[in-house]
Amino acid sequence: MSVALAFAGCTPTRGKAETLGSLPRTSRVPLRSFSETQPYTGLALHGNHLYAGTPRGVVRFTLGSRASTRISAKSGLSGNRVSALAASSSSGVWVATEGGLSRYHKDVWTNRPLAGSLRSVTAMVATSAGVWCGSKSGIAYYDGAKWSSYLPGVKVRHLVGDQSGGGVWVATEGEGLYHFEKGKFVPHNVSRGQPLRAVRSLAYAMDGGLFAVGNLSADEGKIGDERLIYYDGRHWTIFRVAPGARLRWVSLVRGRVLLAAEAKGGQSRIFALKRADLSLRGPKKPPIGPLRLAGKRSSTAPSRYPVPYFYTIALELWLPSEATVVEGQGNMVMIGTRGTGAIVYDGKKSTWYRTNDLTGDTQRFKLACETPDACYLAGGGGRAYRFDGQRFARVSVDADANAKVLGFALDGSKKAVAVYRLGDKLVLSRHAGSLFQRVVELPIKTPHGAPGVRFARYAPSGELWIGLDYADKDHEVRPWGVIVIKRDNSYVMHRSSLLPTEDRKPGSLALPDDIRDAMFRKDAAWLATGNGVCFVKGTRVVLHTENEGMQSEITYSVAERDNGEILAATFGGLGRLVGGRWRFDLGNLRGHVTRAVATDKNVMFVGGDEGLLVLRGNERLSVRERDGLSSDQVRDLRIVGNALWVLTAGGISIIERPVNRR
């Protein structure tokens, strides 16, 4: 992997941009992040909770905390595949699933079938007494007792309640807009001065005007077709956007209209729209702004109609490229993504909400990549996943559904080997074709319960080293040394502690119990342990501690530089072994907690509790959560092809397409 210090303009440029908050700056670092195993299909706020729809039910997050609860058909929902959500402080939470409409009101879930005219709900908006549901086959309103259906055959894209409290504006895929007024839907199309046919998003402004973004034609991919429109209750104003920009959504946050515009590369920057006061002295029009909106009257507006002028302010905010749903509610904007959770933005700051079910509390990468597009991961809850270069999908490693996958390793033939638990045994299976085939079963005894796996790595000799632990009777995880499996599937345990009935077997070394990772150099092993760095070659064991200059003996990771220098990520900083002594003089990291280190050519990657640090010579680059990293708490690093994989407390981030090393 060729890596330079600067990742595609990672350092943010301030300029004259106004900073109103901090959504993930995915345009600043060429990375992708993953934390969820399901996309979010709908979002709603109610009380102190965020409700997120998924293909496996609803996840209810407590605002301001990491607590979450999953609600499914087993716990009262009408189904599991959620397509849309909405909420109102008076009518409760509404959820559309494949099984019907669910309502959460006064701490009780109730269900009823969808209106017969609705096939699958694509958009919802709640009122004080009921809910509007839009679909590919029209729209219907449920008033708490019965359904009323409208606009048969119309493909609904987005809904926003009007300011009367009971009406609704409808954005469609090819028929412009509809507005429910005086008991019926009134079309707003070309004949009435509204030029858009395909409408993506709607939002009200504080002055009561309506904004919409979409295309003049039904072909949303047509170049030059993008428009922003504004309706003041009488006339429409049409705004042309800068060439090449694509408007994705518009919303209202704390009285400010926010607009997301996608530029080349698929990244969407967020702009604030501000209305100019043309009655003031001075220039009749303020600076156009970075988005360059050019407004004109609609064809039906009288010539004396004053064109309202809005200019744009570029914010230091970006919409994640993997966004699946964007909803405005009250003073909040909610953004759901395909694999990184949900964001709630209140106009001042943004907060991530995640279940992090992909990796859970995993502390080390348990990963085997046959190619960059065929990686096998042991994730949270004993589940296994395959990464195809785009997303993670569940994979089975054994016909027994009770198999709990604890790790993966890559053998000498570049095949993934799964390590999993069945009962009290550890089982190995090797990837062959489209299946995994069992290789060996290991009846490992621990002081209490079944064994767990800390890491699994193959040595150049073909031996598989597996770091072990177990949970004691108080559920505290305890280290249990390492097992080394030889090419003939025989094995030997290395640890200091022995069971009361156990004698040390031939070939067994009294290595520290607390072994956290392993790095191999020719016929020697370097082990990161809780007691220092342990060197093992044959029967020779050397433990490097504070006596050899270690700032801390708590070691998380070991790596080797191109010049053969050994590096150690420790609780007391990043150390390097020079002439049998440890020096902590790299990157000014002495005294800082460093949990992982990886090297590529003359570049070092260091992870800790303050994000990722890239070091090359005297240069350094910091990559943090604000740059799109899944969390500032980095747990492990792994180089895969031309990418750096980063395991954090918030999931996995993959930094890709680094620019060439100078």
Query: Does residue 66 contact residue 651 with C-beta atoms inside 8 Å?
Result: no
Q: Indicate if the pLDDT at residue 16 is higher than 60.
A: no
Same domain, 429 and 368: yes
* Distance between CA atoms of residues 251 and 442, nearest Å: 58
411 within a domain of the structure (yes/no): yes
Same domain, 365 and 435: yes
Q: Report, as an integer, the average pLDDT of 221-229.
A: 79
CATH at residue 569 = 2.130.10.10
Last residue of a domain, one of 478, 513, 548: 513
Same domain, 427 and 478: yes
214 within a domain of the structure (yes/no): no
* Distance between CA atoms of residues 543 and 540, nearest Å: 10
563 within a domain of the structure (yes/no): yes
State in Å, rounded, how far the first CA of the chain is from the last one: 13
Q: Indicate if the pLDDT at residue 264 is higher than 70.
A: no
Same domain, 570 and 628: yes
Mean pLDDT, all residues of the chain? 86
Same domain, 496 and 589: no
Same domain, 492 and 619: no
Q: Indicate if the pLDDT at residue 314 is higher than 50.
A: yes
- At residue 12 the predicted structure's pLDDT band, cuts being 50, 70 and 90, is very low
Q: Indicate if the pLDDT at residue 659 is higher than 60.
A: no
pLDDT for the residue 660: 38
Query: Does residue 440 contact residue 485 with C-beta atoms inside 8 Å?
Result: yes
- At residue 318 the predicted structure's pLDDT band, cuts being 50, 70 and 90, is confident
pLDDT for the residue 204: 85
Same domain, 466 and 578: no
188 within a domain of the structure (yes/no): no
Same domain, 379 and 503: yes
- Model confidence over 372-411: pLDDT tens digits? 999 999 998 899 999 999 889 999 999 999 999 999 999 9
Q: Indicate if the pLDDT at residue 27 is higher than 50.
A: no
Same domain, 552 and 505: no
pLDDT for the residue 11: 27
pLDDT for the residue 138: 96
- Among residues of the chain, what percentage have pLDDT more than 90? 61
Same domain, 485 and 548: no
Q: Report, as an integer, the average pLDDT of 609-626.
A: 89
80 within a domain of the structure (yes/no): no
pLDDT for the residue 95: 98
Sign of the Cα torsion 137, 142, 147, 149 reads negative
Q: Indicate if the pLDDT at residue 22 is higher than 70.
A: no
Give the total number of structural domains in the chain: 2
Higher-pLDDT residue of 163, 110 = 110
Q: Report, as an integer, the average pLDDT of 499-521.
A: 92
457 within a domain of the structure (yes/no): yes
- Tokens 């707003």 locate to 188
Same domain, 536 and 587: yes
- At residue 586 the predicted structure's pLDDT band, cuts being 50, 70 and 90, is confident
- At residue 479 the predicted structure's pLDDT band, cuts being 50, 70 and 90, is very high
Last residue of a domain, one of 453, 481, 513: 513
- Predicted model pTM: 0.81
Q: Report, as an integer, the average pLDDT of 234-249.
A: 79
- Of the candidates 86, 79, 165, the residue with the CA atom closest to the CA atom of residue 122: 86
635 within a domain of the structure (yes/no): yes
* Distance between CA atoms of residues 589 and 506, nearest Å: 42
Range of the domain at 464: 357-513
Higher-pLDDT residue of 545, 14 = 545
On the 0-12 / 13-18 / 19+ scale of CB atoms within 10 A, 80 is: middle
